Structure 1
Amino acid sequence: MKLLVFLLLPCLSLSDVSQGFAKCSRFFLNNDPPQFTPEWGNTVQEICQCVWYNDNNNNKQIMYLYATLYNTDWRIPIYSAYMFNGRKSVGRCNPWYIEPQLDDPNAEPCMAPNGRKTRNNQAVNSDYVGQDPNKPSYDRGHLYPVQHTYDPLSMLATSTLTNAAPQDSEFNRVQWNNHEKNVIGDLEDCDKAYMVIGVVPDHSKPKLNNRVTVSKYYWRATCCVKNGVYTGQGYFGPDNNNRVQQLSITALQTQLAKDYKPT
Structure 2
Amino acid sequence: MSVLCFQREMLQICTAALLLLLSGFGNLVMGEISDNNFSKCKQFFYKNAPPEGKGITGKEYVPICQYYKGEYHFATLYNEKEYVPLYSAYKVSTGGGQRLNYWMYEPQVCEKTNQSTILPSFKNLLERKEDDPEMKEIQVKQKLKNQADDEDYKRSGYTKGHLNPCMHQGSQNQRDATFTLTNAVPQHKESNTKTWVKYEKKVLNLYNKNCNKEMYVITGAIKYFQKIKKKVSVPEYMWSAYCCPSFTPSDDNKFATYAVMGRNNKNSGRDVVNKTGYEIEEMTLETLENKLQKLLSTKITLFYRHCKK
Pair 1:75 & 2:100 matched: no
Give 1:254 shift: 0.6
In structure 2, the partner of 1:165 is: 185
| Contiguous gaps of at least 5 residues in structure 2 | 1-33, 123-138, 250-254, 264-272, 299-309
In structure 1, the partner of 2:65 is: 48
In structure 2, the partner of 1:200 is: 222
Structure having the higher helix fraction is: 2
Match of 1:197, SS state, is strand
AA paired with 1:232?
Answer: T
**Distance in 2 between the 1:154 and 1:74 partners?**
26
Runs of 4+ in 1 over 3 A off after TM superposition: 17-20, 35-42, 103-108, 227-230
Query: Do 1:70 and 1:79's aligned partners in 2 also have CA atoms closer than 8 Å?
Result: yes
AA paired with 1:94?
Answer: N
Query: Do 1:101 and 1:107's aligned partners in 2 also have CA atoms closer than 8 Å?
Result: no
Cα distance change, pair 41–32 in 1 and its aligned pair in 2 (3 A): closer
**Distance in 2 between the 1:37 and 1:100 partners?**
28
When Rg is computed on C-alpha atoms for both structures, the one with the higher figure is 2
Give 1:38 shift: 3.5
| Contiguous gaps of at least 5 residues in structure 1 | 1-16, 53-61, 132-136
Query: Do 1:51 and 1:110's aligned partners in 2 also have CA atoms closer than 8 Å?
Result: no
Give 1:36 shift: 4.4
**Distance in 1 between the 2:163 and 2:81 partners?**
18
Query: Do 1:41 and 1:71's aligned partners in 2 also have CA atoms closer than 8 Å?
Result: no
Judge which range, 180-189 or 227-236, deviates more.
227-236
Give 1:111 shift: 2.4
Judge which range, 93-102 or 157-166, deviates more.
93-102
Pair 1:257 & 2:285 matched: no
Give 1:43 shift: 0.6
1:171-226 deviation per Cα after TM superposition (whole angstroms, max 9, x unaligned): 111111111111111122311110000111323x2x01110000111100100121
In angstroms, what is the RMSD of aligned CA positions? 2.5
AA paired with 1:176?
Answer: W
Query: Do 2:82 and 2:233's aligned partners in 1 also have CA atoms closer than 8 Å?
Result: yes
AA paired with 1:28?
Answer: F
In structure 2, the partner of 1:223 is: 243
**Distance in 2 between the 1:199 and 1:181 partners?**
19
In structure 2, the partner of 1:148 is: 168
Give 1:79 shift: 0.5
Aligned residues, how many?
229
**Distance in 1 between the 2:37 and 2:246 partners?**
29
AA paired with 2:216?
Answer: Y
In structure 1, the partner of 2:147 is: 122
Query: Do 2:37 and 2:50's aligned partners in 1 also have CA atoms closer than 8 Å?
Result: no
Match of 1:130, SS state, is coil
Give 1:113 shift: 2.2
Identity of aligned residues (%): 31
**Distance in 1 between the 2:154 and 2:235 partners?**
17
